[in-house]
Amino acid sequence: MSDTESSESEAHEQHEHHDVEGPGYATPQAAIEQAEREQIAYVPSLYVGTDVDAPDFLSVVDINPDSNTYCEVIDRVEMPNKGDELHHFGWNACSSSCHVEGLERRHLVVPGQRSSRLHIIDTKDRESPEIVKVIEPEEVYEYDLSAPHTVHCIPDGEILVSMLGNKDGDLPGGFLELNDDFEIEGRWDPPGEIEMNYDFWYQPRHNVMVSSEWAAPKTYYPGFGLDDVEAGNYGHKLHVWDWTDRTVEQTLDLGEEGMIPLEVRFLHSPEAVHGYVGAALSSNVFHFYEREKEWFAEKVIDVEPREHEDWDMPVPGLITDLLVSMDDRYLFFSNWLHGDVRMYDVSDPANPRLADQLWAGGLFGPRHPTGEDDRPVIAGPQMLQLSIDGERLYWTTSLFSTWDNQFYPEEAERGSVMLKADVNPRKGTMTLDEDFLVDFGEMPNGPARAHEIRWPDGDCTSDVWQ
């Protein structure tokens, strides 16, 4: 039995689910065995930073290969206001709420990164969801917070949202808590625990949460500037929280090799004390782990910069997203500037081994990866999502409107795409599916950007286990 299988077995023994009443799956392995193949995907889609004068929307994408509308956006939920910049979003409940009777994984919490508006979308009708509530920015500002980012359900049925700035768009950020009626419960953290904020992931069994850092909204909203890096306006730290006390117990400074640490992913086993974060600007992956009640972070993957004729400096890969397969065997990440997706075997968490790599768009990948007659892919792979069984990897290409316009201005005119690779977990390989391309350039109001991806029944970047 492998270490992962051993921990899974121990986890199940320590957390009985014979009388499960809540949403989700008893264990990550149960998710792999019981989840049906994904049929639709929810994708925030936006017009911010384009010439289209229309509200952002949530796309419902048909990804059932047996459907007549395969690879098409079959429904759009328009936001009530313009200029939200929909970005990351999450469910009201996941497998961490397994003992909350009557709770359903049914509502999406969809924040506007620029507007600080929170939209609650009911997905009872999976192919035709609808907005049922909007929390206006003024309600958020009352807690001296703005710029909502990551949304995670938490075990008691409530919802936690990382907030990147104060009400004026400066530092510090913090966390906003919603109750199960989607009302603002209050500020989750004592103000002053952190300055910068971005993504977070928690492991209830170890009473720990790890959060990362981007910058103040006023720093990253206009676009990326090296002068901001030199001025120390971008983050390079991880914060280790006491989950119960809601206080920072340890801060791990990743230094220059860990500039702009973005997405935080623990292994899925609730017993695991291992996780990863991708440092976007430095283009390194750090492994963080606990040993004898102390947390450490070590660089385990280094993406070398590459020369490009149009750049006066070597181009960093810019790792903008990463995820861990549900069986905790593989780590995937995207290099948005280079244009590749990498797959690493992390059976030994401290020593990732490159298993495979594929190229699509970006500065170095093929502009027509799905065929010369198909539309060009403007930007590189960005937000990733993996099927629960680990056999299909999907991604979109938009990062953030002003950053898109800075590095890939053509995307505002042509729109994003959603691509897919078929994954063979047994062999550790990926193959680009050249028959799969969702074109967000063909929306009724004009070309749109596409960002994060979620499945109705949970996924590798939102489900947590107690």
Nearest to 385 by CA among 44, 30, 29, 5: 44
When pLDDT is averaged across residues 103-112 and rounded to a whole number, the result is 96
Type of residue found at 378 = I
Residue 324 has pLDDT above 60, yes or no: yes
| Range with the poorest average pLDDT among 1-5, 7-11, 202-206, 324-328 | 1-5
Query: How many Cβ atoms sit within 10 Å of the Cβ of residue 146?
Result: 24
- The beta strands (E) that lie in 303-386 are given as 319-324, 330-335, 340-345, 353-359, 384-386
| Range with the poorest average pLDDT among 8-12, 40-44, 141-145, 298-302 | 8-12
List alpha helices for 292-378, DSSP H: none
What's the pLDDT score for residue 19? Answer: 58
Query: How many Cβ atoms sit within 10 Å of the Cβ of residue 304?
Result: 9
The pTM assigned to this predicted structure is 0.95
Q: Are strands 159-165 and 174-178 parallel, antiparallel or unpaired?
A: antiparallel
pLDDT tens sequence across 234-268: 999 999 999 999 999 999 999 999 999 999 999 99
Q: Are strands 130-135 and 146-153 parallel, antiparallel or unpaired?
A: unpaired
Residue 364 contacts residue 338 (beta carbons within 8 Å): yes
Q: What is the mean pLDDT of the chain?
A: 95
Query: How many Cβ atoms sit within 10 Å of the Cβ of residue 377?
Result: 25
What's the pLDDT score for residue 97? Answer: 85
Residue 268 contacts residue 460 (beta carbons within 8 Å): yes
DSSP character at residue 204: G
Return all residues near 30 (Cβ < 8 A) that are at least 6 apart: none
Query: How many Cβ atoms sit within 10 Å of the Cβ of residue 378?
Result: 24
In angstroms, how far is the first alpha carbon of the chain from the final one?
Answer: 23
